[in-house]
Amino acid sequence: MIRRDRPVYTVTIARAVAPMAIIAFAATILFLFPPAQYSFYPRCPIHEFLHLECPGCGTTRALAALLHGRLAEAFRFNALIVSLLPVAGAYAIRCYFRFLQRKPLLWLPMPTAATYLAFAVTILFTVMRNLPLRRF
């Protein structure tokens, strides 16, 4: 007779720990090797070729600054990403629990107005951060 409870338990633990381990590993790399001091991080192709800052430019530096507890510096690197981090965190937690329950990962249902607002804010942020007047 084959006992099925032990392998399932092991797989469940691995399934629960794997995403946390990946996030912890990435956070450790970011904490120990800040992008401002190490050049092995990928560079933004939009910034490289067009010399414009896309909505994601500065995300890695902002996350590294947050890991070091420097919120103001993180906002200077990318205010949009830092502002959206609580929303992204809540979404990640929801996805994590769906992953644990072996349910398919789905996009959150989002009202159409919120989608348009998110696009408008992102476009406005991108335009504003590329103006010579003020840096975001």
Residue 44 touches Zn ion, criterion: CB under 5 A: yes
In this structure, what are the phi and psi dihedrals at residue 115, rounded to the nearest 5 degrees? Answer: -65, -45
- 67, two tokens: 């890991």
Q: Which residues of 86-101 are buried (b: 16+ CB within 10 A; e: fewer)?
A: eeeeeeeeebeeeeee
Which region, judged by CB under 5 A, interacts with Zn ion, from 55-63, 68-76, 82-90, 128-136?
Answer: 55-63
Choose, by CB under 5 A, the member of 30, 57, 62, 81 that binds Zn ion. 57
Nearer to Zn ion among residue 47 and residue 76 (C-beta): 47
Nearer to Zn ion among residue 47 and residue 70 (C-beta): 47
Residue 27 touches Zn ion, criterion: CB under 5 A: no
Residue 41 touches Zn ion, criterion: CB under 5 A: no
The residue with tokens 């951060």 is 129
Residue 54 touches Zn ion, criterion: CB under 5 A: yes
Nearer to Zn ion among residue 5 and residue 48 (C-beta): 48
Q: Are 73 and 98 in contact (CB under 8 A)?
A: no
User: How many CB atoms are closer than 10 A to CB 60?
Assistant: 20
Binding-residue total with Zn ion (CB under 5 A): 6
Closest distance to Zn ion from the beta carbon of 48 (Å): 9
Nearer to Zn ion among residue 25 and residue 119 (C-beta): 119
Surface-to-core class of residue 65, CB atoms within 10 Å of its CB (0-12 exposed, 13-18 middle, 19+ buried):
buried
Least Cα distance to 37 among 65, 13, 9, 4 occurs for 65
Which residues of this protein are in contact with Zn ion, per CB under 5 A? 44, 46-47, 54, 56-57
